[in-house]
Structure 1
Amino acid sequence: MPTHDETATTPDTPAQETPARRTQAERRAHAEGALLAAAARLIAEHGSTGVTLARVGEEAGFSRGLATHYFGSKAALLARLQEEALAEAMAAAAPERSGAGAVEELCGFARGCLEGVRNPTDLGRAFVVLGAEALAGASELSPAVAELDGRTRGWAAEVVGQGLAEGQLRAEVDARAFAFAFVGLLKGLVVQAAAAPEAFDVVSATAEAERWIRLALVAD
């Protein structure tokens, strides 16, 4: 049976050619990606409590011990999953400082976050589940969730700070206070969507979030 590193040949493949094999770094990246994807699927469906490293390895199609070999502990795997999920959310919602202005960048981030609840990826669903568990005190990742929230607040405060410096926003806006409210608004909406997706109106929620952002930053 071919291994993961073997490439099937065809009649048109010269006999003397040897398929290129992956480097050790490439094999590791492939395995880690498969393990993280498996962990995301399991957590999205069942929560993190019953998920073990052995089960993740099996779900990914590898040995029971491979997840332990690569991540060392369940906490380390979950922390890495949080990092990947945040990177996915940031890339979808606000990949770069676009230069469109503070209000538009913040509204774009909100749209991206809320659009993610319409057709969520396994990674996005797992992120919501882990966040909810942390809020309930049922996750060992509470410190990691707090750190990730802090990064998002830092991004929002930076956007607002630049908007203030450029005279785009009301002078009395407090960038730090706005960032706390901004993250709280989005997390609350995403958790509601996860809890009752059939009752959650993405279009209305997005419109209201954008209205709040504009009122908070530019309205008199």
Structure 2
Amino acid sequence: MPTHDGPDAASPGTPSRRTQAERRAQAEAALIAAAARLIARHGSAGVTLARVGEEAGFSRGLASHYFGSKAALLARLQEEALAEAMAAAAPERSGAGAVDELCGFVRGCLEGVRKPTDLGRAFVVLGAEALAGASELTAAVAELDARTRAWVADVVRHGVAGGEVRAALDPGAFALAMVGLVKGLVVQGATDPDAFDVTVAAAEAERWIRLALVAA
């Protein structure tokens, strides 16, 4: 496969020059997609920055130039995977209250079990490797878990402030339980796609969320 240093800036039939920022963004997206494909198939241990560059159709050194280290690329990949899950829930989150926002997020995450992407598969693989103590991954996974819990807790606090969520609820404790629920279901689904019915699991998770947030 021919390689090049980045996205073609003057391919036939394309508009004139793109900005440097546009070219970089396109190259980074292609490199992340390539890393996700490799990790989803083989795990992260044998994946190198040079291999990622080749998989993306670029030069062997481009991934190193853009990300600096494998750890930085993996951390960015996990960021993109979380963003993908958040985006999947966007219709329910747009203008929704706290309860619908959280239920929508869970449905979006579980939809990834039904229709897994390379990015979603890679995210699960990286999470499993982090549990095994892989030094490159553990800190990044822990940080993302913490950020997700903080996001959930913030949504709950807004719900409490608006009178939608019961005031006695501990936002931090609820966030811990909810993130554990979602991660557990996603990992089970990735390990065994036939382990459960996604529609049933999503409905049960939503029922639990609503009971936890609004029940007296």
Q: TM-score if structure 2 supplies the norm length? A: 0.90
Summarize the Cα distance change of 1:95–1:176 in structure 2 as closer, same or farther, 3 Å threshold: farther
Q: CA deviation at 1:140?
A: 1.5
Give 5+ residue unaligned stretches, structure 2: none
Instruction: Answer yes or no: is the 8 Å Cα contact 1:58–1:64 preserved in 2.
Output: yes
**1:170 counterpart letter in structure 2:** R
Q: Is the 8 A contact 1:79 1:141 kept in 2?
A: yes
The Cα offsets for residues 19-75 of structure 1, whole Å up to 9 and x where unpaired, read as 512232222222211111100100111110110111111101111111111111111
* Deviation, structure 1 residue 219: 2.1
Change (3 A) 1:32 1:99: closer
Find out whether 1:49 has 2:34 as its counterpart. Answer: no
Contact 2:93 2:104 in 1 (8 A): no
For the Cα contact (< 8 Å) 1:53–1:64, is it kept in 2? yes
Which residue of 2 is the match for residue 7 of structure 1? 11
- SS of 2:129's equivalent in the other structure is helix
Residue identity opposite 2:171 in structure 1: A
Instruction: Identify the residue that residue 85 of structure 1 maps to in structure 2.
Output: 81
Partner of 2:101, secondary structure, is helix
Q: Where do 1:173-188 residues align within 5 Å?
A: 173-188=169-184
Q: Which of these two proteins has the greater Rg computed from alpha carbons? A: 1
Task: Give the equivalent residue in structure 2 for 1:15.
Answer: none
Distance in 1, Cα, partners of 2:22 & 2:175: 38
**Percent of aligned pairs with the same residue?**
78
Contact 2:124 2:187 survives alignment (8 Å) = yes
Aligned length: 212
Secondary structure at 2:194 match in 1: helix
Q: Deviations over 1:105-141 (max 9, x none)?
A: 1111111110111112211111111111112223522
Q: Which has the higher helix share?
A: 2
In structure 1, give the amino acid aligned to 2:209: I
Letter in 1 for 2:162: E
Contact 2:153/2:172 (CA < 8 Å) preserved in 1? yes
Instruction: Give the CA RMSD over aligned residues.
Output: 2.2
